[in-house]
Structures are given as structure tokens and as C-alpha cells.
């Protein structure tokens, strides 16, 4: 089985090299697809160096492709670009910071390998170790997940998780439109409408605060809420 890891990348020069090393270290066959969304902090130049080097010649488990947006379009747009390029059997979305640990990949893949699921979400709220973090982020997440569940008829505990894993055969079947943080409720709605079998597994989580570079704000909560309504009612 070949895993396609899609990494949307924007202004993560400090964390991205370490994250990339962690992804590469997971002992699975992988294609790593990095999409730089017009970074301005040196990340783009670092990504170009990786592209020029051809990834890691001689590495039997990992191949690397780096794609570039010529203007900033948002996380959702970067993921869409990456999904068009996947050639593996299973797709996983990986943020470019260090909030999520690639060591969780085997646990995330197990329900799909066992034939129990088409889609697996890694939940930050099912008991795995995690950094005690911002209360209002937690509260907003639980509220948005609840609203999403009402429309999709799923029983997810963490709709907003980065770790969304699904069979690659679904990638061309989902018409994604969201450019920014509406991606999470949109892909959840699209996959639910396809009657995919969902599974959740606990994951570790090391959330950043704003001083450490966290980008999402309270305004994005309204974007997500609008996306839940749009992709479950008006744009199915």
C-alpha cells in the first residue's frame, strides 16, 4: 500500500523541516506532496531547494514533489492542488507545523487496511496525550462539530481535525470548492454524501498558541459555520 501525504504549506520555515523529517521517518511507502501557498518567510525558498535536489535520491520509501501557488489562496486551495496529484492508495492531509505527530499514521491507516472504513479521522478528544490548550478553541470546535454532525448524520468527536485519511479513489469524486478553513466541513460533507464508512481513532496533539504561530482566529469560526450550511444544504 502506498500512502499519499498532502502537506499545505504557508509560512512555516521554523517548523516545516522538522515536520518533513518526521513524515519521512514513518516506515511506510509514501509520496509526499508539498504545496507552498506563496510563503513569504523563507519557506518557499527552502521548498525550492528541496525541489531542485529531487527530494531524497536513493530513498526507497519516500518520494517528494513540491508544487507552488503564485499567489496566496488558502489552505483549502493548497489541499485541492495536492489532491489532483495523488497516485497512492490512501491519502492523508498533514499540516506543516508540529501540532500533529506522523507517528500516528499506522493507527490512522489500520481501519482502512482492515476493511472497516473508507475514511478515518484522527480525533484529539478520544483520550490520547495532548497539550492542555485554549478553552475557547476547544469550545468552538465542539460546537462546530455538533452542527456538522446534525447535517451529515455522523457522530464525529472532532470534525476540525487535520488528520483526515481516506481511500484515494474518492479524491476525484469530491468537488471541493473551499479555499480556506471551510475545507474541513466541506470534505466531511462531501464524503458523508458519498455514504463513506467513517471511523475515528485517538491521536496525540500539541496545539500551538498565537505566539508560536497559530493562524486560525475566531473569525474563521464563522467561515466554518457558513461552510457547514453551504455544503450540506445549498451546494450538495
Q: Class assignment of domain 3-234?
A: alpha beta
Q: What are phi and psi of 102, to 5 degrees?
A: -60, -15
Query: What are the Cα distances from residue 208, in Å, to 128, 136, 140, 211?
Result: 17, 14, 16, 8
> Given this model, what pLDDT does residue 28 score?
97
Query: How do beta strands 164-167 and 90-93 pair?
Result: antiparallel
Q: What CA–CA distance (Å, rounded) separates 66 from 44?
A: 10
Greatest CA span in the chain, whole angstroms?
49
Given a contact cutoff of 8 angstroms between Cβ atoms, the answer to whether 32 and 7 are in contact is: yes
**CA terminus-to-terminus distance, the chain:** 31
Asked if 191 and 166 count as a contact pair (C-beta separation under 8 A), the reply is yes
Collapse the DSSP code of 137 into the 3-class scheme (helix H, G, I; strand E, B; otherwise coil) and give the result: helix
Q: What 3-state class would DSSP assign to 64?
A: strand
Neighbours of 44 (CB within 10 A): 20
Which residues, other chains included, contact 224 with Cβ-Cβ below 8 Å and sequence gap of 6+? Answer: 144, 160, 181, 182, 184, 185
CA 106 from chain center: how many Å?
Answer: 16
* Residue 210 confidence (pLDDT): 46
Calpha distance 96→33 (Å, rounded):
11
Domain ranges of the chain: 3-234
pTM for the model: 0.90
- Each residue's pLDDT, cut to its tens digit, for the chain (236 residues) gives 999 999 999 999 999 999 999 999 999 999 999 999 999 999 999 999 999 999 999 899 999 999 999 999 999 999 999 999 999 999 999 999 999 999 999 999 999 999 999 999 999 988 756 555 666 577 888 899 999 999 999 999 999 999 999 999 999 999 899 888 899 999 999 999 999 999 999 999 987 554 544 456 656 778 889 889 999 988 77
Determine the pLDDT at residue 135.
Answer: 67
In order, the DSSP letters of 165-216 are: EEEGGGGGG------STTHHHHHHHHHHHTTPPEEEEE--B----GGGT---
Strand locations in 79-170 (E): 90-93, 119-123, 164-167
For residue 60, what is its C-alpha cell?
526507497
Could you tell me which of 96, 88, 89 has the C-alpha nearest to residue 21? 96
The per-residue pLDDT for 213 is 47
Amino acid at each position: 500500500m502506498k500512502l499519499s501525504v498532502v502537506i499545505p504549506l504557508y509560512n512555516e520555515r521554523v517548523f516545516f523541516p522538522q515536520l518533513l523529517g518526521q513524515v519521512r521517518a514513518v516506515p511506510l511507502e509514501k509520496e509526499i506532496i508539498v504545496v507552498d501557498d506563496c510563503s513569504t518567510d523563507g519557506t518557499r525558498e527552502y521548498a525550492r531547494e528541496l525541489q531542485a535536489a529531487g527530494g531524497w535520491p536513493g530513498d526507497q520509501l519516500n518520494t517528494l514533489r513540491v508544487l507552488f501557488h503564485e499567489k496566496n489562496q488558502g489552505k483549502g486551495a493548497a489541499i485541492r492542488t495536492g489532491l489532483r496529484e495523488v497516485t497512492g492508495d490512501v491519502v492523508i492531509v498533514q499540516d506543516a507545523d508540529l501540532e500533529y505527530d506522523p507517528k500516528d499514521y499506522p493507527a490512522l491507516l489500520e481501519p482502512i487496511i482492515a476493511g472497516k472504513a473508507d475514511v478515518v479521522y484522527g480525533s484529539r478528544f478520544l483520550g490520547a496525550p495532548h497539550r492542555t490548550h485554549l478553552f475557547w478553541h476547544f469550545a468552538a470546535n465542539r460546537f462546530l462539530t455538533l452542527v456538522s454532525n446534525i447535517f451529515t448524520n455522523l457522530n464525529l468527536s472532532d470534525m476540525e481535525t487535520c488528520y483526515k485519511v481516506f481511500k484515494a479513489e474518492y479524491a476525484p469524486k469530491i468537488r471541493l470548492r473551499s479555499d480556506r478553513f471551510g475545507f474541513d466541513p466541506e470534505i466531511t460533507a462531501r464524503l458523508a454524501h458519498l455514504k463513506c464508512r467513517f471511523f475515528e481513532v485517538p491521536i496525540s496533539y500539541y496545539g500551538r498558541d498565537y505566539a508560536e504561530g497559530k493562524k486560525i482566529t475566531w473569525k474563521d469560526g464563522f467561515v466554518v459555520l457558513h461552510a457547514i450550511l453551504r455544503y450540506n444544504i445549498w451546494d450538495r
